[in-house]
Amino acid sequence: MKLPVKLLLFCLILILSLNILYSQPKWQRVASPTTKWLYKCSFTDSLNGWAAGDSGIIIHTSNAGADWVIQQTGIDYFIEDIFFLNTRLGWAISNDFLSYGPMILKTTNGGNNWNVTRYPDSNLVLITVNFLDSLNGYFGGSSGTILKTTNAGFNWIKCSLESSFFSYFPIRKFSFSNSQYGLACGGIIDINGLIWRTTDYGYNWAIMDTTLEPINDIMFYNDQIVLAAGGDYEYGGAFYKSTDGGINWADSIIGIFGSGHCIAPRSLQEMWISLGFSQLWMVSIDGGYSWLSYNTPDSSAIYDAVFIDSLRGWAFGTYGGIFKYNPEGEIGIKNIKIPESANLFQNYPNPFNPKTTIGYRILKSSKVKIILFDVLGREVKVLVDDYKLPGYYELEVISDELSSGVYFYKLVVDSDGEAGDYFATKKMVITK
């Protein structure tokens, strides 16, 4: 017996629809009001969230991400961090490296207006901000600086860190289980990463763990379980976990290319770590025992992410990238391999001043890009962006326009129309 034509068409459409749904990615790009780099985010509930980054940009949603609008800050410097306590009260921090030092931005009306003040220390670089309530808050920054306020920021006191070789390492993130007990993380690339602990309302901080590379993010999942992320672009992303409130730690260097900028657990089983300019996530679906590599949407560099609950998650990155978590999407795992299409060699000399040479080999005709990044993964300069025939090439880099410090250069090769089918990264050091 033959099926009616309409029924056959209905079945065909249903099958195609199911295939389309099944192939949806876990993270989907949504419309953004800016093309500027978004570096940090803060959400107070499922409706209200903010993201901030390059050139003083702050964007806000009040309708669960259906729309994002730009808020005027009055500054054009990079915003290092943003934190909202509730839908009205929030802070952000920036740094004027030319002369005046740190800037503190505060709003009492959800970001419709921002008041900008300067912290009176031009040698300090502020990196992170966290408030426990409307009066008590913390700033973390360079040279092992932790600042505490008990009066909403009118006055700040410098907290005491355990005296050691690590006393001057920068503070990158705070997390508190209550007003008395909290953790901080930080470190310096190629030297050490650190976790500090306070048990006296933030006045004194003791070292709890040291790691091989910096720790960039830390969070209390509950009173006992603490999660952290970090790593190095040479050795790969790293995951850290404590099950006793941050006293003892299990450290795992995963080896997936990139440095963990943030950790965003959807649950204790499913956790996401963004790897910055490597354009990858590290994702675990078994509580952190094993990790897989996951491509970011549109090969975007993602720097911060958050889950409001198990169904709602947000991520932010370069070129105004806003990405919404899709709980129905599939986890498309990237097969990590290095095709035989190119080679990137270590620059020589290294460290250098005033110039160095980068060598690279292209094995088949390809679109080639070499990008220079700073130690935080921010794009500094595109060194090469051209179509290359097979052969060996050398590139000279001059340090005149660059400050001293650690940089990374990344080779991306697009051959046979397959974007980014080869990439490799090396580290260079400028000394002045």
DSSP state string for 78-96:
PEEEEEESSSS-EEEEEEE
Residue 387 has pLDDT above 60, yes or no: yes
In the block, residue with structure tokens 């709980």: 327
Short-list 176, 197, 276, CA closest to 230: 276
User: Is 36 inside a domain boundary?
Assistant: yes
* Secondary structure letter of residue 26 according to DSSP: S
User: Residue 15: its pLDDT value, please?
Assistant: 38
The whole-number pLDDT of residue 337 equals 42
Is residue 236 assigned to a domain?
yes
Residue 399 forms part of a structural domain: yes
CA distance linking residue 372 with residue 425, whole number of Å:
10
Residue 182, pLDDT score: 98
CB distance 88 to 108 below 8 Å:
yes
Q: Are residues 308 and 384 in the same domain?
A: no
> Is the domain of 91 the same as that of 183?
yes
- Contact by Cβ (8 Å): 116, 74: yes
> Both 413 and 384 in a single domain?
yes
Element (H, E) at 8: helix 5-22
Average pLDDT over residues 234-258: 90
User: What average pLDDT does this structure show over 94-114?
Assistant: 93
Share of the chain above pLDDT 90, in %: 67
The DSSP code for 116 is: E
pLDDT of residue 14: 39
Q: What CATH number should be reported for the domain holding residue 419?
A: 2.60.40.2550
Asked if residue 321 has pLDDT above 70, the reply is yes
Looking at residue 167, its pLDDT comes to 82
- CATH number for the domain spanning 48: value is 2.130.10.10
Runs of H (alpha helix) within 78-162: none
- Output the pLDDT for position 166: 80
Is 141 found in the same domain as 257? yes
Determine the pLDDT at residue 331: 63
Sheet containing strand 192-198, edge to edge, reads 160-161, 204-211, 192-198, 182-188, 171-176
- Residue 398's φ and ψ, nearest 5 degrees, are -105, 135
pLDDT at 17: 35
Give the tens place of pLDDT for each residue, 222-239. 999 999 999 987 778 999
What is the span of the domain harbouring residue 60?
28-325
pLDDT of residue 22: 38
Whether residue 114 sits in one domain with residue 56: yes
Q: Does residue 3 lie within any of the structural domains?
A: no
| Domain edge (last residue) among 325, 355, 384 | 325
What is the residue type of 360? Y
More confident position, 377 or 292: 292
Strands (E), 298-390: 302-307, 313-317, 322-325, 342-344, 355-362, 366-374, 379-388
Average pLDDT score over residue span 201-217: 93
Residues 304 and 347 in one domain: no
Q: For the chain, what is the mean pLDDT? A: 88
Same domain, 68 and 205: yes
Check if the beta carbon of residue 257 is closer than 8 Å to that of residue 273.
no
One domain for residues 316 and 200: yes
Query: How do residues 32-76 score in pLDDT, each as one tens digit?
Result: 999 999 999 999 999 999 999 999 999 999 999 999 999 999 999
pLDDT > 60? residue 335: no
So what's the pLDDT on residue 253?
84
Quick one: average pLDDT of 241-251? 94
223 class by beta-carbon count within 10 Å (0-12 exposed, 13-18 middle, 19+ buried)? exposed
Count of the separate structural domains present in the chain = 2
Q: Within this chain, do residues 86 and 122 fall inside the same structural domain, yes or no?
A: yes
Q: Which residue has the tokens 């400050």?
A: 403
Winning range, highest mean pLDDT, from 312-326, 342-356, 413-427: 312-326
Q: Kindly state whether residue 392 falls inside one of the protein's structural domains.
A: yes
Q: Are residues 265 and 388 in the same domain?
A: no
Q: Within a domain: residue 21?
A: no
Whether the predicted pLDDT of 10 surpasses 50: no
d(CA 217, CA 117): 26
Q: How far is C-alpha 248 from the chain's CA centre?
A: 25
CA pair distance 213, 234, nearest whole angstrom: 10
pTM: 0.81
- Does residue 16 fall inside a structural domain? no
CA distances to 46, 173, 248, 289 from 243, rounded to whole Å, are 28, 19, 7, 14
The last residue of a domain, from among 294, 325, 356: 325
Task: Give the per-residue pLDDT at 20.
Answer: 33
Q: Are residues 389 and 291 in the same domain?
A: no
The mean per-residue pLDDT over the stretch 211-217 comes to: 92
Does a structural domain hold residue 15? no
303 & 405 share domain: no
- Of 24, 41, 28, 33, whose CA–CA distance to 316 is shortest? 41
On whether the CB atoms of residues 263 and 284 are closer than 8 A, the answer is no
